[in-house]
Structure formats: structure tokens, C-alpha cells
Structure 1
Amino acid sequence: MIVQKIFQRAVKATVAATFLATTMLSGTAHAGPTLDKINQRGTIKVGVGTTPGFFAPDSDGKWQGFFIDFGRALSIAVFGTPDKVEFTSSSPQQRLPALQSGEFDVLLSGVTVTATRAFKLGFHFGPTVFYDGQGILVRKDLGVTKAADLDGATIGAQSGTTGELNVADFFRKTGKNFTPVTIEDTGQFIDALESGRVDAITQDSSDLVGKRTQLKNPDDYVLLPERLSKEPLAPAIAGGDDRWLELVNWTVNATIQAEEWGITSANVDTFLDSDDPAIQRFLGEDPSFAQELGLDPKWAYNIIKTVGNYGEIYERNLKPLGWERGYNSLWTDGGLLYSPPFR
């Protein structure tokens, strides 16, 4: 039995190598303009933000975070290694024009999917990787427990984001008044709140959780329970390259599907002998699936082995900040994460 398994593994490896050579040749011909540029350049250019847990350089200057891990997963899908990716911080005002002009191949900066950005600006979006909502961070000494208590308050919102419209819509619906203060630089949010220039600041709750940790006295501030909007955050790319879009889509889906199957970076090798045909296709043991996609048969295996599944990415980067999974749980656990089938 052991000899038979070794023989089967050797045959699979030989077939996979043959398929890989074929897909590498066939894939180049229909790569698409973005992938052509990426392959010629040798790196993927990714626009990111600066929020602890999501994207931030460590003490050695190496980028770390939830969205950063998806950038590395893309590098693995394209190049077979996590290191051929270049992260550049870009403000909300700069990031969308930079994507349009070709400065970035993809934005992993917490971009909200909206109809205007899809139709008017011509962006394509990958799967939602984080279900967020706009929140309000307020000084505790104001004694408010809900957003409606902020009648007459001065609230800071960042220009160039969906936050300005969302907070205005909220106060209009509730019949309350507020004084908006537009803040250009996200770094000035903290100064505005600590100096008393504003009573509260509003932004995606994911960003506010990170900003709270940067305050001198985080316990003096509270994130109110309401969410003023739906903010599905997804990778964004410029329109006109369907193949690049699909590679982004299925790279994200691979991390979600792996979690659903219980495949982790630690145990992925134990699944190589799975009798499940879907898992065999997913991990490249059956290389015919990857041939149809024009990818390395081990692309999904390498992503999970190196970066981990969605749950691992979440736990590693966001759990330390106190984030619970909530809507970002698998659909089987009451959340919204759901991968289409790998077939």
C-alpha cells in the first residue's frame, strides 16, 4: 500500500510538471495587459493605507497586516513566491486616481464597493474580504452612548471617502444637527480628537479601532455601537483586464474555501492524499483543473502553505486588536463569507 502511494505520488508529480510547462506557455499568450506589465516588471504594485492590523510597516520597515497578506497571496498566484509585491501607502484622495493612471495594479487599501466607483470611475472589484461599517469614535467625557446623542456635535470626516456623505445622511434621517469638519490627512484625525477640535471622528469602524490604539489615552474614547453604513471592502482594479480580475477573485476565494474545508498552513500537506476530487483539484494533485485556468497546479496549495487560509489571516492580524469575526465568519458559521466552487 505504501509503495502504491509513493508510485501514485510520483506519477502525479510527473503529470503536474508536464501540465505546468504547458500552462506556463499557454497562459502567457492570453495573460492580459495588467498581467503582461506585471510579468515584465517582475513585481505587483499594490496601493495600501496605514491602519494597524490592516496595513502598516513593522519596526524593520516590512509591511504587515490583513490586506498585506492578500497582496502576498497574489504574488504567490502570479510568481510562486510571496515577495514579488511592492506596497505603497496612498491616501483616500490619491488612491483612486493612482489606480486609474496605472500607478497601482490593485488597491488593497480598504476600498468600499460602490455603484459610482464601478460605473462612473470604471473600477472592477474582487470579492469582499472584510464586511465593515462606518462608525463614530467619541470622547467618553461627552457621556453619549449612541450616535443620536451627538446632536449639535462637531464631527471630523476624511475628505475623499464615503464617510462625508454617510454621516450627513445619518443626521438628516435622524433629524439631528452636527457641524462637519473635513480633514485631509488621516494622521490629523488623532490630533483633532485629542486637541478638542472635534467631539468625534467618523470613518470605517475598522480604521477607528486602529486609530483608537494610537491615541495617548485610548480608554478615554469609545466606539459607538451604530454603524452608519454598509462598507464592503474589496480589492479594486482598473477596468479592462478580465483575466487579472479573475486571478484576484480566485486568490481571495482560495483562502475562504480552504478555511471551509479545514485546510490550514499547518495541515495542508495531510490533505494531499484526500479522496475528495474537489480537494485534489484545489491543491493541484489533479493538475487538469489548473491547466484549464492557465495557472501553476500548486498555486492554491502554495498560498495556503505560505499565507494561510482566511481564518488564519484574520486571527493573525485582527484578533490582537479585539476584532470578532461577526459578518466576516464563514457562511457555515452564520457569516457572509462564501466561495464559489472550485470546479
Structure 2
Amino acid sequence: MIRSFVIVAAVLATLSAGPARAQASPTGPSPTFDAVRARGQLVCGTAATLPGFATVDSRGGWTGLYVDVCRTIAAAMFGDASRVRYVPTTLQNRLPMLQSGEIDVLASNTTWTLAREASLGLQFTGVTFYDGQGFLVRRSLGVTSARQLDGATVCVQPGSTTELNLADYFRRNSMRLTPLVIETVEEVRNAVLTGRCDAYTIGTAALTAFRAGLGAQAGDFVLLPEIISKEPLGPVVRKGDQRWFDLVRWAGYAPLLAEEFGITSANLEARMSDPDPEVQRFLGRTGGFGTMLGVRDDWAAQIVRQVGNAAEQWDRNVAPLGLQRGANRLWTEGGLQYPPPAR
């Protein structure tokens, strides 16, 4: 009986170890992953008119929090954060462009919803930014609450979750609404500045970026205190390519883990010899996690070295807008960002 028990235990141990060995050396076709690697460049779709999140300057240089998402993926894949071709997207074309394969990943102001995952063949890899829909109004109107917008004309863009949230909020509160649906940010800006609409609604991050883009007139507008929806915004990929999904997901977690470990672009080299086993695994000194993902074992170190940890990215891109980090802080600081362990 003892001998039989030992044999059974050995068989079970072998079976349980099998998947781990298979994962350590990923094989088989992975359409997007293989295409990106063969091309030597990531094609990343993102907005181009959101200061602090995604903008392009007159020389073609891209900056912003969502742009850094693209850069982290490239750093993980190639060890070079610059190997990205950015494709400007709009609210109307962003998801079709991803579905058709025009872009490898969408990193923009896109809300994670059930319908988008269940019916469009797409999958969100995580949350870059926890947001909520709000309202921007002209200060001179004297409006201090969204409940005072009964009968208002509200500017809203099509092709987003914003329209439904707006209608739901006004219906729920028995308020009259005149929506003014406008497609582009430029047209919205003109409508807001000329008084064609009493308020503009979208996620508060986009509203903050929009107000910053008004330049000298930014002080004439205020954000109302109400948040009327949940808007978890994150990268999106096509379903059916697990290796690509894994890489994009963990490239998103790496800056958060680095912040959790206290690793920054400035102290990275010193931390390479840190005896903490978790840090050693994260930085690729042990564990072979890069091999599991199909990239170099120092993939996370490359992200921190070239793009920075989550706090560095926030301070560089979003803090100048005056937007508080709030729910986007680490879980250890009362926020919602809770990266799974790298082990």
C-alpha cells in the first residue's frame, strides 16, 4: 500500500508539473504576437487630442498616459519602448480598427463593458485609469450641481458609453434633456465656447484634458461634483490570441508592481542586486517569467528603465493637469490598483 501511494503521488506530481513546463516555453501560433514580432514594431491605436493622456505635437511626437501604455508593451516585447507606430483613433473608428486588424492594441479612452467583450470579439486586459462620467459647465452659469441641469442642452459625442449614461441619468432623476450630439472634439470645443450647449459630458479625465486644451479660457469653466457612472478604461485586444493578451496584460501590471516594490527608473540599477526574492523575480534575475511570456526575462526591468513605474507615469503626464490620482492609487494607499503577484 505504501508503494502504491508513492507511485500515485509521483504521478500526480508529474501531472501537476506538466502545465507549468508547457507555459515556460510558449509554442504554437499566436497571430498578433507573431505579427508584431516579425514586423519589429507595435501598431498602437490611441486618441490624439487628450492632453495628459494622448496627444501628438507638431513634430509628430506622442505623449500621455495612454501613449505610455503603448511604450510599455514595446519595451516588454522588444526591449525598446520607441518601437511603436501610433495610429490616431476616434470614438467611432477605434473598435472597428482593432477588429479589422489595422492596429494591434487599442490604448485609449475606452470603457470596459460587458457588451464590448461579449459581442465584439474583443477583450480588455486590465484598467489603466479608473474614471467616471461628469459634466463641464461655464462658470458664469452659476450651476453647482448636475441636478440643476434640468432642461439643459448637453454636448455629447457619439460612439461611446457616454450617450447612454447621460440619458439614464436624466431619466433616473426625472429631468428634461436636449442632447447635442457632436462627433469631433474640435466641434465640441466650438460649441462649448460659443454657448451652443450648457454642459459637456464625458469621463472626468477627458473633461480635465478638454478644459486644459481651452488655454486662456480654461478658467471660465468648472467641473461639477457629480460622477454619474463607472468608467474603467484600459487596453483592448482581439480575442483568441492568449499569448498576446498575456503580454499586454502583464506589461500593464509591471509599472504598478514596480511602484509597489519602490522601484523607479532612477534606482533601478541599484535594485538589480536587491536580495528580496520577489524583486529578483520581477526584474528577471530569477524565475524565467519572460520566457513564460515569450520575451526577454528582463522585460519588466526594461519597462521601468524606459517608461518608469506607475507613479512616474502619472506625475509626468496627468499630475500637470491638476487631476488627483484618487482611485488610481495603489491598493496600499487606499486606491483600486491591485496588481497580481509576479510569482
Tell me the TM-score normalised to structure 2 length. Answer: 0.90
CA root-mean-square deviation: 1.5
Distance in 1 (CA, whole Å) between partners of 2:288 and 2:154 is: 56
2:151 aligns to what? 152
Please name the residue that 1:8 is paired with.
none
> Which residue of structure 1 lines up, in the alignment, with residue 56 of structure 2?
57
Q: 1:91 and 1:288, CA in 2 relative to 1: closer, same or farther beyond 3 A?
A: closer
1:1-343 matches, cutoff 5 A = 27=26, 29-30=27-28, 32-49=30-47, 50-215=49-214, 216-286=216-286, 288-343=288-343
Measure, in 2, the Cα distance between the counterparts of 1:147 and 1:158: 18
Q: Aligned equivalents of 2:320 and 2:187: distance in 1?
A: 24
Counterpart-to-counterpart distance in 2, 1:100 and 1:293: 23
Contact kept, 8 Å, 1:138 with 1:221, in 2: the verdict is yes
For the residue of structure 2 that corresponds to 1:112, the secondary structure is coil
Cα deviations by residue, 1:150-206 (Å, 9 ceiling, x for unpaired): 111100100001111001100111111110111111221110011111111111111
Aligned-partner Cα distance in 2 for 1:290–1:240? 21
For 2:44 and 2:293, locate their aligned partners in 1 and report how far apart those are by CA, in whole Å: 23
Cα distance in 2, alignment partners of residues 167 and 156 from structure 1 = 10
2: CA distance, partners of 1:30 / 1:109? 30
CA distance, structure 2, for counterparts of residue 160 and residue 288 of structure 1: 42
**Alignment partners' CA distance in 2, 1:342 and 1:299:** 12
Q: Distance in 2 between matches of 1:120 and 1:289?
A: 32
Q: Secondary structure at the match of 1:93?
A: coil
Distance in 2 (CA, whole Å) between partners of 1:31 and 1:262 is 37
> C-alpha displacement at 1:275, in angstroms?
1.4
Shift of 1:294: 2.9
Return 5+ residue gaps in structure 1 as ranges: 1-24
1:31 shift after superposition: 5.6
Contact 1:255–1:304 (Cα < 8 Å) also in 2: yes
CA contact (8 A) 2:268 2:301 kept: yes
CA–CA separation in structure 2 for the residues paired with 1:293 and 1:240: 16
Q: Is the 8 A contact 1:281 1:290 kept in 2?
A: no
Deviation at 1:131, TM superposition (A): 0.3
Residues 98-134 of structure 1: per-residue CA shift (max 9 Å, x gap):
1110111100011100000000112110110100011
Q: TM-score, normalised by structure 1?
A: 0.90
The farther-off stretch of 251-260 and 212-221 is 212-221
Instruction: Name the CA distance, whole Å, in 2 between partners of 1:293 and 1:38.
Output: 14
Q: Using the alignment, how far apart are the partners of 2:28 and 2:61 within structure 1? A: 33
Q: What is the SS of the residue equivalent to 1:127?
A: coil
| Preserved contact between residue 133 and residue 228 of structure 1 (Cα < 8 Å) | yes
Q: Tell me if structure 2 keeps the 8 A contact 1:31–1:243.
A: no
How far apart in 2 are the matches of 1:202 and 1:253? Answer: 30
C-alpha separation between the residues in 2 aligned to 1:26 and 1:329? Answer: 34
8 Å contact kept, 2:247–2:293: no
Q: Could you tell me how far 1:297 is from its partner in structure 2?
A: 1.2
Deviation for aligned residue 1:239: 1.0
What SS is found at the alignment partner of 2:240? coil
**Equivalent-residue separation in structure 1 for 2:156 and 2:70 (angstroms):** 28
| In 1, Cα distance between equivalents of 2:211 and 2:292 | 47
- How many positions carry a matched residue from both structures? 319
- CA shift, 1:60, in A, is 2.4
Structure 1 runs (4+) greater than 6 angstroms displaced: none
Q: Distance in 1 between matches of 2:65 and 2:270?
A: 26
CA distance in 2, matches of 1:231, 1:321: 19
1:78-97 CA-to-partner distances (Å, cap 9, x unmatched) read: 11101111111111001011
1:137–1:202 CA contact under 8 A, matched in 2: yes
| Structure 1 position 26, deviation (Å) | 5.1
